């Protein structure tokens, strides 16, 4: 069995990789299980920190090369791809500095007791193609620091990145078995989750994939962390800083080739400023430089797969048939590769499926609202609850609305993004559990109570 990596900008085959057969998978699980015992018990926290610092050094040194690899396999603009690698280095440095404190024993006031954070063992991770370095490393770095080993099933289409990551961790001085790539198909996942040597699982991907893994993990009494995407709302009130809100709304929707779980997919604008916002926003979207992702001037490259182009067209056609008003775009570009025109649709009825679904194409949906209560109700009218954004000059309103929104994170007068220092995760169909920050560092540990009478 083979896995193929295709260049989305050209539609040409980059590489064919041999998948791991059952014997190879067994060998890797066994090695991870053995390594977990020594990594947790015989390797000190100081040695783990030193490994993370070496990892950060290598990421910074190789940022351009890894960035080119990312761009060739999934199509994001080269500047964003190199920035993704550098962000991963910052994550490693953050957890090298703050991670030991996050994982330190926590005394309980008034009791002769502490909470001790201990590793679970071997963690199985299922990872997506849209952030092929950052998504994997933001999970791996604190998880390994806590004393766990990891097995990673990366996406079929970024197997070059998958192999580069495994090599990177070894080059940073980690023992064999700390981080291993599993080149497997989807139908091999269930048996790995069920394997008694796997302590827990984490999934970043679709709601269907996450729920399927969670069902298997639950049947075997195992913890699972799910980050299952979103349909983030971006609320712009009439007193917002208009000149900042518009470009941030464009960036938040179309960064990473518009293939991000935390993109601002539904933009809600107060009626008094709606017409002006729509005009300026559409002009900015039309002006986005679309083209070769290896060109530093490009802001929007190809979609990662031909299937994503087809899915986007299906959703756009449905939206227009359901009453949406097409303001720009609406079709694939007539050129080599998986390019889709940046698209804006307005005035959709809120019950239209695209409003409730997650979509991974360069499509922004604009809505108008009259009252704060209406804006909140519309924003919460999605099955997802990952991130949300509120733009207003009224601090009291910002606090009130942010607390009313059903989301794992709310950003005020900014755009949603992940940061190594802060917890990241969602509610509702966006999943549960947290990555990053102190909460993320402790997520895949046993928070053991130690009590002295």
Active site residues: 227, 261
Residue 43: which residues within 8 A CB-CB, separation 6 or more? 147, 175
Check residue 90 and report its DSSP letter: H
DSSP string, 131-162: STTHHHHHHHHHHHHTT-EEEEE--GGGHHHH
Phi, psi of 362 (to 5 degrees): -80, 65
H/E stretch holding 449: strand 445-451
**Rounded-to-integer distance, Cα 362 and Cα 254, Å:** 6
User: Helix H segments across 412-453?
Assistant: 437-443
H/E stretch holding 311: helix 306-321
**Rounded-to-integer distance, Cα 396 and Cα 374, Å:** 17
Q: How far is CA 182 from CA 153, 170, 248, in A?
A: 5, 15, 38
Residue 67: which residues within 8 A CB-CB, separation 6 or more? 78, 81, 82, 83, 84, 85
Q: How far is CA 87 from CA 67, 84, 137, in A?
A: 12, 5, 10
Residue 252: which residues within 8 A CB-CB, separation 6 or more? 232, 234, 263, 264, 389, 415, 416
**Rounded-to-integer distance, Cα 286 and Cα 283, Å:** 5
**Rounded-to-integer distance, Cα 246 and Cα 40, Å:** 48
**Rounded-to-integer distance, Cα 85 and Cα 62, Å:** 8
Q: How buried is residue 53: exposed, middle or buried, by Cβ count under 10 Å (0-12/13-18/19+)?
A: middle
Contact 429, 228 (CB under 8 A): yes
**Rounded-to-integer distance, Cα 123 and Cα 147, Å:** 11
Query: In which order are the strands placed within the sheet that holds 122-126?
Result: 179-181, 149-153, 122-126, 198-204, 223-227, 431-432
């Amino acid at each position: 069995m083979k896995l193929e990596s295709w260049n989305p900008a050209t539609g040409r085959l980059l590489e064919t990789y041999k998948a791991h057969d059952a014997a190879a998978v067994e060998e890797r699980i066994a090695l991870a299980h053995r390594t977990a015992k020594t990594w947790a018990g015989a390797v000190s926290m100081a040695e783990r920190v030193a490994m993370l610092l070496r990892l950060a050094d290598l990421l910074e040194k190789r940022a351009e090369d890894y960035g080119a690899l990312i761009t060739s396999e999934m199509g994001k603009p080269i500047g964003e791809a190199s920035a993704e690698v550098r962000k991963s280095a910052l994550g490693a440095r953050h957890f090298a500095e703050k991670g030991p404190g996050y994982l330190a024993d926590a005394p309980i006031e008034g009791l002769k007791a502490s909470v001790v954070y201990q590793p679970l063992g071997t963690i199985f991770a299922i990872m997506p193609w849209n952030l092929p370095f950052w998504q994997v490393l933001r999970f791996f770095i604190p998880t390994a620091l806590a004393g766990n080993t990891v097995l990673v099933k990366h996406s079929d289409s970024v197997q070059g990145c998958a192999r580069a990551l495994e090599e990177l961790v070894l080059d940073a001085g980690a023992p064999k078995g700390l981080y291993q790539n599993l080149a497997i198909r989807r139908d091999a996942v269930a048996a790995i989750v069920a394997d008694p040597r796997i302590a827990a699982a984490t999934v970043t991907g679709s709601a269907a994939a996450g729920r399927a893994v969670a069902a298997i993990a639950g049947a075997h009494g195992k913890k699972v962390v799910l980050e299952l995407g979103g349909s983030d709302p971006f609320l712009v009130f009439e007193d917002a800083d208009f000149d900042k809100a518009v470009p941030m709304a464009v960036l938040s929707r179309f960064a990473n080739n518009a293939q991000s779980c935390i993109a601002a997919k539904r933009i809600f604008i107060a009626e008094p400023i709606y017409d002006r916002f729509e005009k300026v926003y559409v002009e900015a979207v039309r002006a986005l430089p679309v083209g070769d992702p290896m060109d530093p001037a490009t802001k929007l490259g190809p979609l990662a797969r031909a299937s994503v182009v087809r899915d986007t067209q299906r959703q756009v056609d449905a939206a227009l048939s359901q009453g949406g008003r097409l303001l720009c775009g609406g079709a694939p570009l007539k050129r080599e590769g998986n390019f889709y025109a940046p698209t804006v649709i307005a005035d959709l009825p809120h019950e239209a499926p695209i409003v409730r679904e997650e979509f991974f194409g360069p499509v922004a949906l604009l809505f108008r609202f009259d009252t704060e209560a209406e804006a909140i109700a519309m924003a919460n009218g999605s099955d997802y609850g990952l991130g949300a954004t509120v733009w207003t000059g009224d601090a009291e309103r910002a606090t009130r609305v942010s607390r009313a929104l059903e989301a794992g994170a709310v950003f005020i007068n900014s755009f949603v993004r992940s940061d190594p220092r802060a917890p990241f995760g969602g509610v509702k169909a966006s999943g549960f559990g947290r990555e990053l920050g102190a909460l993320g560092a402790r997520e895949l540990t046993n928070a053991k109570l130690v009590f002295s009478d």
